[in-house]
Amino acid sequence: PRTTLLFLSPKDLYTAPDSCRGRCEEPYSKEDECHCNAECERYHNCCEDYYRHCRPAGFSSSRDAIADEDLLHISEQLYEADHNKARPTDIAINPQYQASPDETGDQEDHSPQPLYKYVNEALFSKPTYASFIKLLDNYQRVTGREEDVTAEELREQDNFLKEVMKTELMKKLFAFLHKKNRYSSEQEFVADLKEMWFGLYSRGDGEQDSSGFEHIFSGRACTGGTGGAGQHQAGGLTPGSRLCLGEVKKGKVSGFHNWIRFYLLEKQGIVNYFSHNFNGPWDTYPDVLGLQFSWDGFYKEVGSAFIGCSPEFEFGLYTLCFIARPGRACHLSLGGYSLSIQTYAWTKSTYGNGKKYIATAYVISP
């Protein structure tokens, strides 16, 4: 039987979106939490049930719709275009102990050896890797501390976007979204990527302390309180737990889904790998692992991560799913295997004409 690891969002972080029932083509109002007019697709701020209530039968075959079949096709194209991914000889991992679903919360180190036996660090000199790694040290780890974004850090954001947009993978993604009438130019696309991913919002006490990029790729360690972060376990949250999305809150790690970040911190002795609960079907890279680990004393119960992909691959897939299926499971195909990604929009603040920041994105491990 297949076990689906769910990543459920609490109402104190992601307030439940309103329905589009009876609201189709309602004029835009900034007071609304989500929207039901034709422009909401362009601004990725539709209510979750927009397609069910507001699109006529047959919309999935119309020119601008992103149908399920489109997602399967474009994701295979992006998979094939990941020319910067690790080769089989570039990485050697040692997964060791496989935890059962009822063991992921035990916080026991079942694997005495590190996860990564070897990584060819020549990968990190490639432009997209190098510009990505420079971004990783730009963030405070604990939520609630205002980020001081320097001019140099803004240049690093721009440089990362410039480098990823040089790749065939991101050019294919833009061409797809342009064809679907989501963006009129590459310049508009890049400007939106910068806001969507790097725009700051508050996960703490009103301080502009977090961004989608930081949460997903860098992570943080949640202090105080009870319950868990990142409880992607069968059946949802463990009893009495609260999910903290991003970084370190409530004493556990949330976010932190990137293999490069994990490798660099494990090498420094800051991350301790405990076990894995899922190993994807791929016999090459990118692969997918669901893993348990501690980061500087903070625990991650299930962290799903691509292993061995390029930064642009993760960045592109998460962007695709956030635009095409915000707040829903986004079903993709990679090398002939099915994989789903879940994204959530940040609902407490917006940019532009009601556009939503990306709050989190992660692989739903089967």
The pair of three-digit structure tokens given for residue 200, joined into one six-digit string: 């700051």
Confidence of residue 219 (pLDDT cuts 50, 70, 90): low
Flag whether pLDDT at 4 surpasses 50: no
pLDDT in tens, 306-359: 999 999 999 999 999 999 998 889 999 999 999 999 998 888 888 887 888 998
**Distance separating alpha carbons of residues 36 and 48, to the nearest angstrom:** 10
- Model pLDDT, residue 230: 35
pLDDT in tens, 31-61: 778 888 888 888 888 887 887 778 754 343 3
Active site residues: 215, 257, 300
**Distance separating alpha carbons of residues 276 and 293, to the nearest angstrom:** 9
- Model pLDDT, residue 63: 66
**273 or 35: which carries more pLDDT confidence?**
273
**Distance separating alpha carbons of residues 333 and 174, to the nearest angstrom:** 18
- Taking the mean position of all CA atoms in its chain, how far away is CA 349? 19
Confidence of residue 96 (pLDDT cuts 50, 70, 90): very high
Pairing state of beta strands 355-364 and 337-351?
antiparallel
Pairing state of beta strands 91-93 and 116-119?
antiparallel
Confidence of residue 205 (pLDDT cuts 50, 70, 90): low
CB 60 within 8 A of CB 70: no
**129 or 62: which carries more pLDDT confidence?**
129
**39 or 75: which carries more pLDDT confidence?**
75
Mean pLDDT of 208-212: 74
The pair of three-digit structure tokens given for residue 37, joined into one six-digit string: 């007019």
**189 or 50: which carries more pLDDT confidence?**
189
The pair of three-digit structure tokens given for residue 277, joined into one six-digit string: 């609960």
Confidence of residue 207 (pLDDT cuts 50, 70, 90): low
Mean pLDDT of 87-92: 96
**Distance separating alpha carbons of residues 176 and 356, to the nearest angstrom:** 21
The residues, ordered by sequence, that sit 6+ positions from 18 with a Cβ below 8 Å of its Cβ are: 32, 33, 34, 47
HSE of 126 in the Cβ direction (CA atoms, 13 Å)?
Answer: 19
Give the C-alpha distances (Å, rounded to integers) separating 20 from 32, 71, 137, 310, 358. Answer: 11, 24, 41, 38, 21
Neighbours of 18 (CB within 10 A): 15
Flag whether pLDDT at 135 surpasses 50: yes
Mean pLDDT of the chain: 80
- Model pLDDT, residue 286: 94
Helix, coil or strand: residue 205: coil
Confidence of residue 201 (pLDDT cuts 50, 70, 90): confident
Flag whether pLDDT at 225 surpasses 70: no
The pair of three-digit structure tokens given for residue 288, joined into one six-digit string: 């997918």
Helix axes 311-324, 68-80, angle to 10 degrees: 170
- Taking the mean position of all CA atoms in its chain, how far away is CA 54? 28
